[in-house]
Amino acid sequence: MDSYISKADPSVLLYLGVTAAFGIIAFYKAKKNQVERKCKFARGLLQLLLLEILCFAMLKSYVGLILFSMACVISYIYLPVQTMLPVDNKAVLITGSDSGIGHALAKHLDNLGFAVFAGVLNKKGPGAEELKRSCSQRLCVLQLDITSSAQIKDAYLKISEMVPNTGLWGVVNNAGILGFPADGELLPMSVYKQCMDVNFFGSVEVTKTFLPLLRKSKGRLINTSSMAGGIPMPKLAAYGASKAALSMFSGVMRQELSKWEIKVAAVHPAGFRTCIQGTSELWNKQEKHLLENLTPDVKKDYGEDYIEALKTFLLHMPGHCEADLSPVLDDILHALLAKRPHGLYTPGKNAYLALCIFCYFPLWIYDGFIGKMQISKSVPSALRTPEAKSKNM
């Protein structure tokens, strides 16, 4: 064994030395601080290990060693084991608190001691009543349709009166709609416009209105985008495009607001079980609207049975989504309280993996990966004919 080590390439020993040194330092840092987001901590170490193998195999010994050492230093600086700021009754506005992530987040932050302003679409609805009944007196329910400039301004005036000295620590733009999932060609322009109005323009207007209060506190702006806002996903052209716009807006605001010491984060959750897909009554209404706006040629090529099958996509969505919202809530909490929050969070199964495949692999690999994840495998009517099948073969 001793003779083998003595004959080994000195760079091998140097690689092992750097790896051991980084591992020990990282371990003590993690032990000293409260460890948050353990899976991302482990994922970061795995990525470094893969980089080490690539550096050693493909680059000249010492060039690769220098690159790997620099990666270790950068990883150490940004290890996700940061000390969290105290809650100290910090005030946070959450839009879309009637149900789903916004509703759960309002309860979670209230339980932790935040002063929560829960914006709801219907102040007399069951979601709003549940928040009033189950949360502390700190939580304030506000009527806030984010497509209404008047309601946004009214909410701003009410919150300004309640936090005149401290300002608002956080704004969580969570309100959003899915629309009717269908091929982009089938969707009426009204669906595209509605998704943009709610998922993008509404969040932009809320952000612009409340930024003076965030500047006062040097607080946090958090935009809840979607996995579909970072990667293209079939049946989600309108929804995905609006969320992609929100993600780009977040990136630009992160750069521009840094001079004001305001931190900005985008959250790209994977599939979680919320009420965003709507009800069967809403699906029937949306399907009718879709059919009424199709030209005869398009309706013939796709077939009404294909369009009818789109509702199957909606019916099976909850079964492919996670019921536990805690990964999303934990990431938003980290974005609110970490001294150095991340610019992007990807909670949920396959969210980070899909983003990596889309960014770093050939598109045909990504398309195949997404194809296997699809719920519905139905085929348009015009592609089921013998002639169409023979052309595809």
For the annotated catalytic residues, the residue numbers are 239
CA–CA separation, 89 and 93 (whole Å): 13
For residue 125, give the DSSP letter.
S
CA–CA separation, 96 and 198 (whole Å): 10
The CA dihedral of 208, 210, 213, 218, to the nearest 10 degrees, is -60
Contact between 205 and 152 under an 8 Å Cβ cutoff? The reply is yes
Contact between 135 and 116 under an 8 Å Cβ cutoff? The reply is yes
For residue 334, what are its two tokens?
Answer: 């980290």
Contact between 334 and 222 under an 8 Å Cβ cutoff? The reply is no
Of the candidates 251, 326, 369, 302, which has an alpha carbon nearest to the alpha carbon of residue 101?
Answer: 326
Angle (CA) 140-141-142 rounded to 5° is 115
Of the candidates 272, 308, 215, 311, which has an alpha carbon nearest to the alpha carbon of residue 101?
Answer: 272
CA–CA separation, 249 and 235 (whole Å): 23
For residue 59, give the DSSP letter.
S
Edge to edge, the sheet with strand 115-120 lists: 140-143, 115-120, 91-94, 170-173, 220-224, 263-267, 344-345
Of the candidates 222, 230, 220, which has an alpha carbon nearest to the alpha carbon of residue 258?
Answer: 220
**How many C-beta atoms surround the C-beta of residue 383 within 10 A?**
15
Residue 12 amino acid letter: V
- Between 61-77 and 10-32, two packed helices, what is the crossing angle to 10 degrees? 0
The 3-state DSSP class for residue 155 equals: helix
What's the distance, Cα to Cα, between the start and end of the chain in Å?
59
Contact between 262 and 215 under an 8 Å Cβ cutoff? The reply is yes
For residue 236, give the DSSP letter.
B
